[in-house]
Amino acid sequence: MPSFASYFPRISMPVLVCALITSFAATAAVAQDTIRFGAPLPQTGPLAPEALKQQQGYDLWAEQVNKRGGIKVGDKKMKVEIVYTDYQSNTPRAVQAAEQLITQQKVNFLFSPFGSGAAKAASTVSEKYAVPTIASTASSSQVFDQGYKYLFGTFTPNDTLTTPLVKIVREKASGVKRVAILARNDLFPLAIAQDMEKAAKANGLEVVFFEKYAINTMDHSTSLSQMKAQSPHWIFATGYINDLVLIKKQMSDQKMEAPVVTMIAGPAYKEFIAATGKSSENISSAAWWHPAATYKGVDIFGTPGNYSKLFQEKYKSEPDYAQASASVSGVLFQMAIEKAGSLDRTKVRDELARMNVMTFWGPVKFGPTGQIDSLEPPVLQIQNGKTLVVSPAAIKQADFKLSVK
């Protein structure tokens, strides 16, 4: 009986020719009508929840742009297409994914992979091919101090989160003197804890406890017992949502109370409140954006309120800073392309570098390193099961409250 392979040479040529013609036609069509944005995301693996948020943000922006006919490039409008690749929460694969998007998928522009670590790793590729890239989830300044020209970021450095926190606690709770810090031993959570330590010391607070815990730690009871023995006034814990849910649960188990408890980055997400229930009351946090902010932008979303409305219509839930940052990254590309009037990567890069606009995300101006330096991130606090803005004064929704049980 002839094998399947023996048929192959006979059928392969016509099929190949047809496939080539079709794909050539498709590429030609793509080149004429759409602008392709590459987005390498950790769609599977431990970072999958974060990828979902990013994708929601990009998709919402693309949908809104396409509804209006697309991005205006010179005198014609071009539709937007986002090309996703999954790098399975594995940083080396994120770099490969970025390169593959540029060289094989022929994307015009790129969004960075998730987080500071992967964004830094992949930035080398986009710099090599001179592809303007916006990192929507990278805050560590080490990502941007490499002297790269094509990398931009929508998060201000970590210390812009901790400094306003220290300021508001100093103002509202003068009795708070002793600070205890528990940090996940990981790039972003550790960097923010170290910035907190610096800010606390600079403001005359005493750091009585500073410990790091390993990734995948299943028990914090001993660290918390040690922390409790120091009677801190301010407990500052960093990590991702699962770590912080467990830490808060074990704090309640050990009947730990303090005037101020701050956690970064969980409490800005509504899932944190759902998982911790009433014990989350008065926990403070800081994030780069909140739906309650009152910016009046000139972009397609306009205000945070309008952005929230459109987001809720599409996804039936309230957006947080992760989704908004993904959307604003699209918005910024759109504005730069429209201003440049072309898809020329160097021209678009130059427009991004000299950008100074108001958006629903807040005022956007990139510093010399490419990292945004115009934003004042809000301080948040959970009150009555809702996350409210307590600072800065211009967008404040409630007063800062003390006592976390």
Partner 1 sequence: MLYLQVLLNGIVLGCIYACVATGFSLVWGVLNVINLMHGTFIVLGSYLAWWAYSALNIAPWTALLIAAPVYFCLGYAVQRGILNRVIASPVLVTLTLTFGLDLMLNNAMLYFFKADYRRLVLEPAMGSLSVGPLVVPVDRLVAMAFALLLTLILYLILRRSRVGRAIVAVRMDRDAALLMGVNVKSIYAIAFGLGASMAGCAGVLLAMIYPISPVASGGYLGKAFVVCVLGGLGSVPGAIIGGLFLGLVESFGSVAFGPEHSVTLSFGLLILFLIFRPQGILGKRGFE
Site residues (CB under 8 A) for partner 1, limited to 217-236:
217-223, 225-226, 229
Least CB distance to partner 1 at residue 390 (A): 25
Give the binding-site size for partner 1 (rule: CB under 8 A). 40
Least CB distance to partner 1 at residue 261 (A): 17
Q: Is 252 a binder of partner 1 (CB under 8 A)?
A: yes
Smaller CB distance to partner 1: residue 84 or 213? 213
Cα dihedral sign for 108, 113, 114, 119?
negative
* Stretch in the footprint of partner 1 (CB under 8 A) among 131-139, 156-164, 248-256, 373-381: 248-256
- Give yes or no for a cis peptide into 199 (omega within 30° of 0): no
* Stretch in the footprint of partner 1 (CB under 8 A) among 72-80, 93-101, 211-219, 309-317: 211-219
* Stretch in the footprint of partner 1 (CB under 8 A) among 213-221, 310-318, 323-331, 373-381: 213-221
Dihedrals phi, psi of 330, to nearest 5 degrees: -65, -45
The secondary structure of residue 378, as a DSSP letter, is: P
Residue 147-186 contact track with partner 1, rule CB under 8 A, x = bound: -----------------------------------x--x-
- The Cα 50–Cα 137 span in angstroms is 10
Residue 305-344 contact track with partner 1, rule CB under 8 A, x = bound: ----------------------------------------
Helices marked H in 179-258: 187-202, 221-229, 241-253
Q: Is 207 a binder of partner 1 (CB under 8 A)?
A: no
Q: Is 208 a binder of partner 1 (CB under 8 A)?
A: no
Tell me which residue has tokens 């059928």: 11
* Stretch in the footprint of partner 1 (CB under 8 A) among 191-199, 276-284, 317-325, 362-370: 276-284
Q: Is 246 a binder of partner 1 (CB under 8 A)?
A: yes
- The Cα 307–Cα 319 span in angstroms is 8
Q: Is 141 a binder of partner 1 (CB under 8 A)?
A: no
Smaller CB distance to partner 1: residue 26 or 274? 274
* Residue 219: count of CB within 10 angstroms of its CB: 10
* Residue 104: count of CB within 10 angstroms of its CB: 8
Site residues (CB under 8 A) for partner 1, limited to 27-86:
44-46, 48-49, 52
Smaller CB distance to partner 1: residue 169 or 245? 245
The amino acid present at 353, given as its one-letter code, is: A
Tokens of 264: 């970064």
Tokens of 231: 């009677």
Q: Report the residue from 98, 101, 125, 245 that binds partner 1 according to the rule CB under 8 A.
A: 245
Comparing C-alpha atoms, which of 145, 98, 107, 105 is closest to residue 126? Answer: 98
Least CB distance to partner 1 at residue 134 (A): 24
Smaller CB distance to partner 1: residue 156 or 223? 223
- Is there a contact between 155 and 361 (Cβ–Cβ < 8 Å)? no
Least CB distance to partner 1 at residue 248 (A): 10
Query: How far separated are the first and last CA of the chain, in Å rounded?
Result: 77
Q: Report the residue from 72, 170, 172, 249 that binds partner 1 according to the rule CB under 8 A.
A: 249
Q: Is 277 a binder of partner 1 (CB under 8 A)?
A: yes
Q: Is 255 a binder of partner 1 (CB under 8 A)?
A: yes
* Stretch in the footprint of partner 1 (CB under 8 A) among 201-209, 214-222, 334-342, 357-365: 214-222
Cα dihedral sign for 137, 130, 299, 310?
negative
The secondary structure element, H or E, covering residue 309 is helix 304-315
Please spell the DSSP secondary structure of 240-285, one letter per residue.
Answer: -HHHHHHHHHHHHHTT--BSEEEEESSTTSHHHHHHHGGGGTT-EE
Least CB distance to partner 1 at residue 229 (A): 5
Smaller CB distance to partner 1: residue 56 or 123? 56
Sheet strand arrangement including 386-391: 206-213, 178-184, 234-238, 260-264, 284-286, 379-383, 386-391
Interface with partner 1 (CB under 8 A): 44-46, 48-49, 52, 182, 185, 211-223, 225-226, 229, 241-242, 245-246, 249-250, 252-255, 271, 274-277, 279
